A = this chain, B = another copy of it.
Amino acid sequence: MPRPEIDIAGVFAPHDHKTCASRALDEAEARLLAEGARLTPVRRRTLEILLESHRALGAYDVLDRLAAEGFGRQPPVAYRALEFLVQHGLAHRLQRLNAFTACLHPGSDHNPAFLICRSCDKIAEANAGEVREALADVAGHGGFRVERATIEALGLCNACAEAEA
Interface band, chain A: 35 or more
Pairwise interchain contact B153-A149, C-beta atoms closer than 8 A: yes
Chain B residues with CB under 8 A of A124:
142, 144
Once bound together, how far apart are the Cα atoms of A157 and B141, in whole Å?
11
Stretch at the interface among A7-15, A17-25, A55-63, A76-84: A7-15
The residue among A118, A131, A154 with the most chain B CB atoms within 10 A of its own CB is A131
The dominant DSSP class at the A interface is: mixed
Pairwise interchain contact B135-A153, C-beta atoms closer than 8 A: yes
Pairwise interchain contact B150-A96, C-beta atoms closer than 8 A: yes
Is A37's CB within 8 Å of the partner chain B? no
Is A30's CB within 8 Å of the partner chain B? no
Pairs of residues from A and B, 10 with the lowest C-beta to C-beta distance, nearest first: A8-B142, A143-B158, A149-B153, A95-B95, A147-B155, A146-B155, A146-B153, A131-B134, A134-B134, A130-B134
A interface list, Cβ under 8 A from B: 7-9, 12, 95-96, 113, 115, 117-118, 124, 126-128, 130-131, 133-135, 137-139, 141-158, 161
* 30 residue pairs from A and B, CB less than 8 Å apart: A8-B142, A8-B144, A12-B142, A12-B144, A95-B152, A113-B135, A113-B139, A115-B139, A115-B144, A117-B144, A126-B135, A126-B144, A128-B138, A130-B134, A130-B137, A130-B138, A131-B131, A135-B153, A139-B155, A143-B157, A143-B158, A144-B153, A144-B155, A146-B154, A147-B154, A147-B156, A148-B153, A148-B154, A150-B151, A150-B153
